Amino acid sequence: MINVLLDSYLKNDIAKIIFYQNKEIIDELIKADLIGRNGATPSRNLKDIIERKGDFKAIMNKVALCVFEVRNSLFHRGEVLSLINGCNSLMRDLVNKTLEAFLERTNA
C-alpha cells in the first residue's frame, strides 16, 4: 500500500532529501541483509538500486520494503532488530512528506 502512495505522490526531489537525511539508517538496512519469509532479499535489492543510481522514488520504494521486513521480524518472529528506531524515524519522514504532497494535490 505504501508503494502506491510513494509512486503517486512522492516527488523525486523530496525523496532525494529524505534519502540523504536518513542515509545512515539506509546503510544499516543494506548491511542487515534482510531476508523475507518468502525468500525475498530487500536489503540486496536496495543496495542494487542505489548502485545503479536509480531514481530516489524507486529507492524509497525499496527502503519501504526493507522497513516492512524489519516490522515482520518484530511481529512474526518476535525479533526486535536494532534498526527499529531508525526505521520509525525514516518512515515518519517518508509518510509525512508523501501525505503533504497528497494534500497539496487534492487541495489544488
Phi, psi of 105 (to 5 degrees): -70, -40
For the segment 14-65, what is each residue's pLDDT rounded down to a tens digit? 999 999 999 999 999 999 999 888 899 999 999 999 999 879 999 999 999 9
Spell out the SS3 assignment of the chain.
CHHHHHHHHCCHHHHHHHHHHCHHHHHHHHHCCCCCCCCCCHHHHHHHHHHCCCCHHHHHHHHHHHHHHHHHHHHHHCCCCCCHHHHHHHHHHHHHHHHHHHHHHHHC
Residue 74 has pLDDT above 90, yes or no: no
In this prediction the pTM is 0.85
User: What average pLDDT does the chain have?
Assistant: 89
Q: Which of 22, 20, 29 is nearest to 67 (CA)?
A: 29
Show the cell assigned to 54.
536509480
